[in-house]
Structure 1
Amino acid sequence: MRSDGRGRWWGLLAISLGVAMIIVDATIVNVAVPQIIRDLEITSADAQWVQEAYTLVFAALLLVAGRFADRAGRRRMFVAGVVVFVAASVLAAVAGSGETLIASRVLQGVGGAMMLPTSLSLLNANFTGREKGVAFAVWGSTIGGAAALGPLLGGWLTTEHSWRWAFGINVPVGVAVVAATLVLVRESRDDRAERGIDLLGALLSVIGMTGVVFALIEGRTYGWWERERPFRLLGLDWTATISPVPVAGLLGLVALGVFVAQQLRRGRAGRPALLDLSLFGIRSFRTGVLAAAIVSLGEFGLLFALPLWFQNVLGYSAFGTGAALLPLAVGSFLASGLGTPFTRRWGAARMVQLGVAAELVGVAGIGLVVAPDTRWWAPLGFLFVYGVGVGLATAQLTGVSLADVPVQRSGQGSGIQSTARQVGSALGIAVLGTVLFASLGGLLGDRLADQPGLDGAQRDQVVAAVKDSAGAAITGLAADPRTAPVADEAKEAFSDATRYAAFAAAGFLLVGLLACTRLPRPHPTLTDPAPAPRQPTPTASR
């Protein structure tokens, strides 16, 4: 980044804005889905792929993108990713069919994967000393805050304008990010990297990550073993009795196993490899990546359940749901300012532990106040504490993980850590989603067992409708006086299921907190009282 202080921090702002854009787009569509279904006349299955195609491709390409950024140039890869992302956003905004919208979301995932690990490696390469800790804090708080702002922004744009603006807003933001990055951020790359491209490794990595993440995301939808609903992909129908989920998961695991073996073989032969497994010999990196994956299981999984509860039980609008989650964003952004002086005093590892503990308190507290008659103010304090925890833990855990990673391999290290986070988040959503809907089905079935006027078939039909609609059917039941008592029971059951999901998330965070106790003492570059001397990168150009 530019050598003067002002230019360096404006460059950080540009990178953080780009990161916010890709994180917001992971959640902004959730509140726009009903309007998308009506406007494009697509099926619920197509709508699900609109939401999940982005996440699937994004997670699958993180490792590959991080490695190629080291060699091609990190700023170049980041800017190219923004261009791809903006182009895909334009395609999504003008989409006239579900197929076009899904394709644009796939392309958005490609652009996002090019940007996220590269943003981390740019910070690692261009900040040193105490400034690096501040930069990582801003980056981490951006992720937490953007995840909470997505539903608010999406709800407002969808309600006041159109769902198309949820994508169109990326155009001016992306143009500003590209211009600022080219002016304020200097290039860096690993000029000592081996020549040649590990195409087989890239292919195995993508196949492996796609299979595993698909299984984690889609298990609840299509069945963990037996196929529970039709599955169609690229015009082909899956007709087997067995679900595509275990097949994809097994294929992914086999591909990842072959990938690791192939990487070891290439490394021993001195040939260029996509994944430098020697990075896992660095204790801070190895422990930080493991902790990041575990913490991510509970960190954002609850954001899947809470919006459903706000809208379908408490009756909030899409915009109201986003507003209810605003304390999380405020807490996360506030943590970026408060975290730096405390990190200098107590160390990065201690701040990670404090952040995860705050998340644990916030999530458990939310579980305690969830009820059909919860007042609007009851969850706000716990959401704020949760957000503070996310802001503290995300940034400092990233800093601890990359502290001892050589700058020349920071793209690869960033890609590995980002991939671990995405897989952890996908697993958390899968597990919490299973807890939510399995509990909902059982609880609602028990509550309706003695409901007058309902026989067994009708009870099963109501339970299936509430589950399959993720609670949206409750509104229709409540509107009809004849089924209003059933809606009341459904609200109770959905609230109890949300509580169980919150407690499950708290359990993951407790395991993550225990894992964080093994983090090594902070690296001096994160806590030095003054910035360390700047080291020239192999290539440094404006």
Structure 2
Amino acid sequence: MDDDGPSGPQVRLASARGRWILFTTVLGSSMALLDSTVVNVALPRIGRDLGADLAVLQWTVNAYLLTLAGLILVGGALGDRYGRRRIFVLGVTWFALGSLLCGIAPDAGVLIASRALQGIGGALLTPGSLALIQGSLHPADRARAVGLWSGFGGVGAAVGPFVGGWLVDGPGWRWVFLLNVPLAALCVPVALRHVPESKDPQAHGRFDVGGAVLGAAALALVTYALIEAWSGSALVVAAAVGGVALAVAFVLLERRRADPMVPPGIFASRQFTAVNLVTLCVYAAFGGFFFLSVLQLQVVAGYSALAAGAALLPTTALMLLLSARSGALGERIGPRIPLTVGPLLCAAGMLLMLRVGPGASYVRDVLPALLVLGAGMVTLVAPLTATVLASVDPGRAGLASGINNAAARAAGLLAVAALPLLAGMGPDAYRSADGFDAAFGRAMPWCAGVLVLGALVAWATVRSPAPGSARPQCRTQCAVTAPPLEASRAPERPEPPAAGSPATGSPA
């Protein structure tokens, strides 16, 4: 039976409406999650069909990350103010429109612009999917619903590269994007029919539009400068200087605003600042690795798109199976050791990928590297999220998670832009197996070095959180592009669960 509470509808998860809410949020968030993992597999085919150079492949990834990272905090605030279902539906629709334009793009320019549109939709729907659970379901059922949401999302992340490879080798790379259209056509009417509207009655003040614009513009200019640095033109130098100037202006604006998008005061917590530095190192390495590794497998090792996508399954499968146990271990021994050992294991896995060359054996050369990398990801990702949440007051857990998620995406964005430059990859690098293999050999030590730096930062700065600090509700953590978002929560103790209702999140 459903109840109406003072903050809006309080639907029980066991009811038909509760199951529809869970289905809708999982389906919507899976669209964005799948897109973040399947597109990399399609890059070589996109480049070949559109006659594009390496810079176009970088922008195909980064145009999406740019708008997503720049607007994801705004997306959550819009839902709290104007209605979570309304913004979620808008995000799904926007994402589907961007996907359709990507699927029919006649040239690289249209594809890149459409990817940026996709990112705007992702910034609206990604925080909205979890907020719908928190705003619609009965307090006694929310933890279990979040556990199921994160578990099903983990399954989607695990199968994403496999699905992407199958589509690329089958109907073609355009279906990597077009697949989102029927998913959205199913998601939107279900949301409108079965999901109640909810808002945050305490949401107030103006949106930090200026901060969002400055942050996104700074990232865009720096990304452009890194990708186009090969040209050595005056425009590249101007973009780099302009990007740095806008980044400084963003910091100054956030310090002066009454309701900033990124409150500077949150960084007064040394633990929060330290873990975000670790996040930047870790997800920069992940972003560069997953961008280049699928190219290495296809261009150099001769794998099909399906084989390359399937090759990556061990990393996400290990996270799907073991992330909850890793989080529990982090709670027992503290985050310092996991956040030090995890990056070092990931660094070792990336260095093992140097064995992957022409005619590489999957069992002998690829699988060991991905198993070591997966073990490192399992070790570090869940404790990283837990430490972020534990470093701030419980009432700011949602904000802290959003900042950490945006930082991870920005790190991946900059890594995809900078790593080919650091590795000496020219515009036509991916068209030559020998040339790309040599550049890949120079790139992996860069990724490993950034991970070692993250491990050193963790060992020197991270300490055990205070007893009773906030803990993640998302127990399954499979996203390779960013840590999972966590919902905002009130600092006061939640209502006791009803008889027969589970009191903790699913360990999935």
TM-score range, shorter chain: 0.7 to 0.9
1:110 aligns with 2:113: no
Please give the secondary structure, in 2, of the residue aligned with 1:203.
helix
The worse-fitting range, judged by mean Cα deviation, of 342-351 and 256-265 is 342-351
Q: Deviations over 1:430-464 (max 9, x none)?
A: 443334336xxxxxxxxxxxxxxxxxxxxxxxxxx
1:309-388 paired onto structure 2 within 5 Å: 309-339=296-326, 341-342=328-329, 345-346=332-333, 355-367=342-354, 369-372=355-358, 374-378=360-364, 379-388=366-375
Alignment match, 2:257: 266
Residue identity matched to 1:209:
L
1:3 aligns with 2:9: no
1:504 aligns with 2:453: no
1:87 aligns with 2:97: yes
Residue identity matched to 1:152:
F
Please give the secondary structure, in 2, of the residue aligned with 1:167.
helix
CA distance in 1, matches of 2:149, 2:338: 15
- TM-align CA RMSD: 4.1
Residue identity matched to 1:517:
V
CA distance in 2, matches of 1:134, 1:404: 24
Kept after mapping to 2: 8 A contact 1:92/1:167: yes
Kept after mapping to 1: 8 A contact 2:83/2:198: yes
Task: Check 1:11–1:290 CA distance in 2 against 1; reply closer, same or farther (3 A cut).
Answer: farther
CA distance in 1, matches of 2:218, 2:465: 31
CA distance in 2, matches of 1:293, 1:523: 27
Q: How far is the alpha carbon of 1:170 from its aligned partner?
A: 1.0
Task: Check 1:390–1:324 CA distance in 2 against 1; reply closer, same or farther (3 A cut).
Answer: same
Kept after mapping to 2: 8 A contact 1:353/1:517: no
CA distance in 1, matches of 2:340, 2:400: 22
1:501-540 paired onto structure 2 within 5 Å: 501-511=446-456, 513-514=458-459, 517-518=462-463, 520-521=465-466, 523-526=468-471, 533-534=494-495
CA distance in 2, matches of 1:312, 1:493: 12
Structure 2 gaps of 5+ residues are 1-9, 474-491, 498-508
Task: Check 1:412–1:491 CA distance in 2 against 1; reply closer, same or farther (3 A cut).
Answer: closer
Alignment match, 1:469: 428
TM-score (normalised: structure 1): 0.71
Q: Deviations over 1:237-283 (max 9, x none)?
A: xxxx3242x4223323322322332333233xxxx443333333345
Q: How far is the alpha carbon of 1:36 from its aligned partner?
A: 4.0
Task: Check 1:374–1:117 CA distance in 2 against 1; reply closer, same or farther (3 A cut).
Answer: same
Greater radius of gyration (CA): 1
Equivalenced residues, count: 467
Alignment match, 1:253: 244
Task: Check 1:156–1:399 CA distance in 2 against 1; reply closer, same or farther (3 A cut).
Answer: same
Please give the secondary structure, in 1, of the residue aligned with 2:114.
helix
Q: Deviations over 1:171-205 (max 9, x none)?
A: 23334544666677666544323333444334333
Q: How far is the alpha carbon of 1:110 from its aligned partner?
A: 0.6
Kept after mapping to 1: 8 A contact 2:75/2:127: yes
Q: Deviations over 1:496-518 (max 9, x none)?
A: 33553453354344345436733
Please give the secondary structure, in 1, of the residue aligned with 2:362.
coil
Task: Check 1:88–1:382 CA distance in 2 against 1; reply closer, same or farther (3 A cut).
Answer: same
Q: Deviations over 1:447-490 (max 9, x none)?
A: xxxxxxxxxxxxxxxxxxxx43334323xxxxxxxxxxxx5xx5
Aligned pair partner of 1:242 in 234, 253, 260: 234
Residue identity matched to 1:222:
E
CA distance in 2, matches of 1:156, 1:473: 24
Please give the secondary structure, in 2, of the residue aligned with 1:4.
coil
Structure 1 gaps of 5+ residues are 229-240, 439-466, 475-486, 537-542
The worse-fitting range, judged by mean Cα deviation, of 179-188 and 351-360 is 179-188
CA distance in 2, matches of 1:27, 1:308: 14
CA distance in 2, matches of 1:492, 1:209: 29
CA distance in 2, matches of 1:25, 1:190: 29
Alignment match, 1:280: 267
Kept after mapping to 1: 8 A contact 2:288/2:419: yes
Aligned pair partner of 1:195 in 205, 210, 216: 205
CA distance in 1, matches of 2:471, 2:194: 23
Aligned pair partner of 1:58 in 59, 68, 78: 68
Kept after mapping to 1: 8 A contact 2:314/2:374: yes
Alignment match, 2:501: none
Task: Check 1:293–1:521 CA distance in 2 against 1; reply closer, same or farther (3 A cut).
Answer: farther
Kept after mapping to 2: 8 A contact 1:144/1:332: no
Q: Deviations over 1:84-140 (max 9, x none)?
A: 101221232233444443332221011112233445656777798998599479749
CA distance in 2, matches of 1:396, 1:17: 27
Alignment match, 2:502: none
Please give the secondary structure, in 2, of the residue aligned with 1:468.
coil
Q: Deviations over 1:270-299 (max 9, x none)?
A: xx4433333333455434333322321223
TM-score (normalised: structure 2): 0.75
Residue identity matched to 2:385:
T
Alignment match, 1:171: 181
Kept after mapping to 2: 8 A contact 1:66/1:118: yes
Alignment match, 1:461: none
CA distance in 2, matches of 1:223, 1:49: 14
Residue identity matched to 2:169:
T
Please give the secondary structure, in 1, of the residue aligned with 2:363.
coil
Q: How far is the alpha carbon of 1:328 from its aligned partner?
A: 1.4
The worse-fitting range, judged by mean Cα deviation, of 131-140 and 420-429 is 131-140
* Identity in percent: 32
CA distance in 1, matches of 2:378, 2:146: 12
Residue identity matched to 1:533:
P
